[in-house]
Amino acid sequence: MKHIISILIENEAGALSRVAGLFSARGYNIESLTVAVTEDSTMSRMTIVTSGSDEVIEQIIKQLNKLIDVIKVLDLNDGKFIERELMLVKVKASPQYREEMKRMCDIFRGRIIDVADGSFTIELTGSGSKLDAFIESLDNTVILETVRTGASGIGRGDRVLKI
Amino acid sequence: MATPAKNAKPNPVSAQTQSEGLSDTHKKTSSHEISGAEIVIRCLNAEKVKFVFGYPGGAVLHIYDEIYKQNGFKHILVRHEQAAVHAADAFSRATGEVGVALVTSGPGATNAVTGIATAYMDSIPLVVISGQVPVPAIGLDAFQEVDMVGVTRPCVKHNFLVKDVRDIAETIKKAFYIAATGRPGPVVVDIPKDITAHKTSFHYPETVEMRSYNPVLKGHSGQIKKAIKLLLEAKRPMIYTGGGLVLGDGAPELVKLARTLGYPVTNTLMGLGGYPASDPQFVGMLGMHGTYEANMAMQNCDVLLAVGARFDDRVIGNPKHFLSEKRTIIHIDVDPSSISKRVKVDVPIVGHVQAVLSEMNEVLSTEKIKNEVSAWWAQIGEWRKVHGGRYENSDLVIKPQYVIEKLCEVTKGDAYVTSDVGQHQMWAAQYYKFDKPRRWINSGGLGTMGVGLPYAMGCQFADKNAQVACVTGEGSIQMNIQELSTCAQYGLPIKVILLNNRYLGMVRQWQEFFYEDRYSESYMDSLPDFVKLAESYGHVGMQITKPSDVEGALKDAFAMKSKFVFMDFITEQKENVFPMVENGRGISEMILGDTKKSDNNKGVK
């Protein structure tokens, strides 16, 4: 099953490689990994999307906690949470497609952020599955390139990951 | 590693920074400011380090210059960086203190990696200080540069690259703290050369606080009570202890607990000495080459208390087979990730073994023990008769098991015994009776050939008057044979017990069992004359070829209290280690004897 794991980690050189190295060394899946500094510049917040049986996820959490630089680990799937990902898609927008592209973009609440002679660049945010759905709804031949940030996640309401 | 040859062209960046020594920001130094190199030395002395095992080279020359000027710790010059780390590792295993090694950058650092990985797999607390090229040269493929933090990341508990002289003291303090606490392990501190030249004032922190690292020590009281209740209701109880019990110095508490309960105890390879081998409650080592009774009891118990052990593949074999029998498992470990890793545990207790066991003893002292397990002991007694550690002795050819039995007698079971990896390691584990913890020193997790001699060095430095025996094979000993020179330099009276069968015995045994006797590259041809080799270093060499000479030779060797004695025992070539659990099988599926030699060949399944 897919899990989204949030990690607070010391903002130090090499911290990312410790986490990435742990996943590759122990053969765990990474679907996506995002990391950036938090409001406290000594800490980074990382979101990892992974999958595995309950036993594997339990080991992943334990192994992450064992890393010296890791301050806190939270499996967001243990409660309610929000997941968001940003995607930029460049699509063909020749005259006969322009209207349809605009319509599709509106349906998914995306924004066209760059317009050129033959193409649009669309910005879309949402859960990973929403972004997948958008890609699927487009004809493959109109997509010129896609870039996704990977998911960020945060607990709902009182669920706060903080030291 | 040596410094570059005179005519070698130095890297322009490193040459520049090395000649300048100090960067602008550090040029103004007041009289109380000292160099990074001196800070390193002061830190090690503040940690009351007794020995630093190392090898000099370009990137650590400033540090070595400070070593020359100080008289706190003693530096031990090895002949290869791998041996430095192994010796520091053994010193730690024997004493419980943090072992310290010092190596230079590049090849010095990579040579140390096998030693670091060996210590990591067995959770041995080490601080390994490696030199690094100067900060401005990092990443430019400088001479003797390697990304030590990157190379060691998967095999250390933690590592640091120090990029500011003001961080050295705090980093070393943290390194010792991280290495020794929680589940211990090696910590690497990589220090660029220019940082050891920069100056700053020295202050060694007294305590460390890390928001991201707070190991749990005290066990959960509710879980402990639950565990005691289960143990007191068990019909077929079993206590299984590993290296964690030894490293956590919990053996006295475990002995008290086991004797109060009167339950059988088995030790893993790493855990030998955790429970006295000569005690009647001890059923021997378990696992791939464990005793029949230990493996059968492990498989058939109804309540299992696991202490500082991790249910690894060499211990329980196939986890599916192990779990096919129903039992309740209580697991005490300081590392939560060791619990329920390979085998699902019913009552996990995270904490330091010593703290948890003494709390268990307290709870137990308030209970009335009326549990009756004599039927279980009777069953174990039956199992004991099945194999009983028998081997067929001979008057004509030396049996390796016989050498170990005699070694145990001659040293009164009180020596530090180090081993390399292979058949001789298993025979040493099976036939030497370890009554005390920290006496059996071997590479259990990584299985590193070549540890035996440097391990013996570490033990002899730990206890200069102790009897130290290095049980080895002719394959393993040659992997760090250069250390005979170190032993000569420091006058270490180690006794090498070489069980020489002219084969890589364990490889050959597997080839006999599983590859239809195709002995691919497992025969050792062109062996040196070990007697002459030992003598060339000024040691005593002996070759023993007759069974009747074994005991006398051992007595003679151990009577030479100040001499290093290299004993080359020419043994039976094709002796096999039994019992044996084939890779991937269950632990109760043992092969008990040689199919070619005896009737006892069916294998009990």
pLDDT digits (tens, 9 = 90+) for B313-343: 999 999 999 999 999 999 999 999 999 999 9
B337·A62 Cβ contact <8 A: yes
Mean pLDDT, rounded, of chain B: 93
CA distance A151 to chain B (A): 24
Is B414:B459 a contact under the CB 8 Å cutoff? Answer: no
What's residue B30's pLDDT?
60
Burial class (CB in 10 A: 0-12, 13-18, 19+), B505: buried
- Residue owning tokens 């002219």: B502
Strand partners, B128: B101, B188
Nearest neighbour of B336 by CB, restricted to A62, A70, A71: A62
CA distance A82 to chain B (A): 26
SS3 sequence, chain A?
A: CEEEEEEEEECCCCHHHHHHHHHHHCCCCCCEEEEEECCCCCEEEEEEEEECCHHHHHHHHHHHHHCCCEEEEEEHHHCCEEEEEEEEEEEECCHHHHHHHHHHHHHCCCEEEEECCCEEEEEEEECHHHHHHHHHHCCHHHEEEEEECCCEEEECCCCCCCC
Q: Provide the whole-model pTM.
A: 0.93
Burial class (CB in 10 A: 0-12, 13-18, 19+), B528: middle
State the catalytic residue, choosing from B81, B253, B512, B575. B81
B293 is catalytic: no
A10 touches chain B (CB under 8 A): yes
pLDDT digits (tens, 9 = 90+) for B493-530: 999 999 999 999 999 999 999 999 999 999 989 999 99
Q: Which residues of B, range 138-157, sit inside 8 Å of A by Cβ?
A: 149-150, 153-154, 157
Query: pLDDT band for position B10 (50/70/90)?
Result: very low
Gap between the Cα atoms of B230 and B82, Å rounded: 46
Measured from the Cβ of residue B246, the count of other Cβ atoms closer than 10 Å reads 29
A70·B210 Cβ contact <8 A: no
Give percent above pLDDT 90 in chain B.
90
Strands B495-500 and B590-591: unpaired
DSSP B317: B
What's residue A31's pLDDT?
94
Position with higher pLDDT, B149 vs B17: B149
What's residue A120's pLDDT?
95
Contact list in B for residue A14 (CB cut-off 8 A) is 149-150, 153, 161
Listing DSSP states for B91-135 in one string gives HHHHHSSPEEEEE-STHHHHHHHHHHHHHHHTT--EEEEEEE--G
What's residue B375's pLDDT?
97
Burial class (CB in 10 A: 0-12, 13-18, 19+), B425: buried
Tokens read off for B189: 């501190």
B211 touches chain A (CB under 8 A): yes
Query: pLDDT band for position B550 (50/70/90)?
Result: very high
Is A153:A6 a contact under the CB 8 Å cutoff? Answer: yes
Tokens read off for B89: 């590792």
Measured from the Cβ of residue B370, the count of other Cβ atoms closer than 10 Å reads 6
What is the rounded average pLDDT of the residues B109-117?
98
Name which of A62, A68, A69 to mutate to probe chain B: the one with the most chain B Cβ atoms within 10 A of its Cβ: A68
What's residue B20's pLDDT?
41
What is the rounded average pLDDT of the residues B32-44?
97
B68 dihedral zone (left: phi>0; alpha: psi -120 to 50; beta): alpha
SS3 sequence, B166-216?
A: HHHHHHHHHHHHHHHCCCCCEEEEEEEHHHHHCEEECCCCCCCCCCCCCCC
A55·B344 Cβ contact <8 A: yes
A38 touches chain B (CB under 8 A): no
User: Which of B86-90, B214-218, B249-253, B267-271 has the lowest average pLDDT?
Assistant: B214-218
What is the rounded average pLDDT of the residues B83-96?
98
What's residue B603's pLDDT?
41
Gap between the Cα atoms of B29 and B530, Å rounded: 56
Query: pLDDT band for position B138 (50/70/90)?
Result: very high
What's residue B4's pLDDT?
46
Query: pLDDT band for position B22 (50/70/90)?
Result: very low
Gap between the Cα atoms of A126 and A151, Å rounded: 9
pLDDT digits (tens, 9 = 90+) for A120-135: 999 999 999 999 999 9
DSSP B49: -
What's residue B29's pLDDT?
52
Tokens read off for B308: 């500082």
A70·B178 Cβ contact <8 A: no
User: Which of A159-163, B11-15, B553-557 has the lowest average pLDDT?
Assistant: B11-15
pLDDT digits (tens, 9 = 90+) for A33-89: 999 999 999 999 999 999 999 999 999 999 999 999 999 999 999 999 999 999 999
| ipTM of predicted assembly, 2 dp | 0.92
Q: E-assigned strands of B196-288?
A: 199-201, 237-241, 265-267, 282-285
What's residue B387's pLDDT?
83
**Residue B590 CB partners (closer than 8 Å, separation 6+):** B292, B295, B387, B579, B580, B581, B603, B604
Q: Which residue of B has its CA nearest to A9?
A: B212
DSSP helix/strand/coil, B162: coil
B535 is catalytic: no
A160 touches chain B (CB under 8 A): no
Is B50:B75 a contact under the CB 8 Å cutoff? Answer: no
pLDDT digits (tens, 9 = 90+) for B65-74: 999 999 999 9
pLDDT digits (tens, 9 = 90+) for B184-203: 999 999 999 999 999 999 99
- Residue owning tokens 């096999």: B576
Gap between the Cα atoms of B529 and B570, Å rounded: 12
Q: In what helix (H) or strand (E) does residue B404 lie, and over which residues does it extend?
A: helix B400-410
Query: pLDDT band for position B601 (50/70/90)?
Result: very low
User: Number of CB pairs < 8 Å for A and B?
Assistant: 39
Q: Which residue of B has its CA nearest to A72?
A: B212
Name which of B187, B212, B337 to mutate to probe chain A: the one with the most chain A Cβ atoms within 10 A of its Cβ: B212
Tokens read off for B185: 């392990």
Whole-number Cα distances in Å, B131 to A35, B19, B88, B145, B422: 31, 17, 17, 9, 34
What's residue B597's pLDDT?
39
B17, pLDDT greater than 50: no
User: Which of B151-165, B196-210, B362-376 has the lowest average pLDDT?
Assistant: B362-376
CA-wise closest residue to B435 among B274, B246, B286: B274
What's residue B388's pLDDT?
75
- Residue owning tokens 């008990």: B592
Gap between the Cα atoms of B480 and B87, Å rounded: 11
Gap between the Cα atoms of B173 and B168, Å rounded: 9
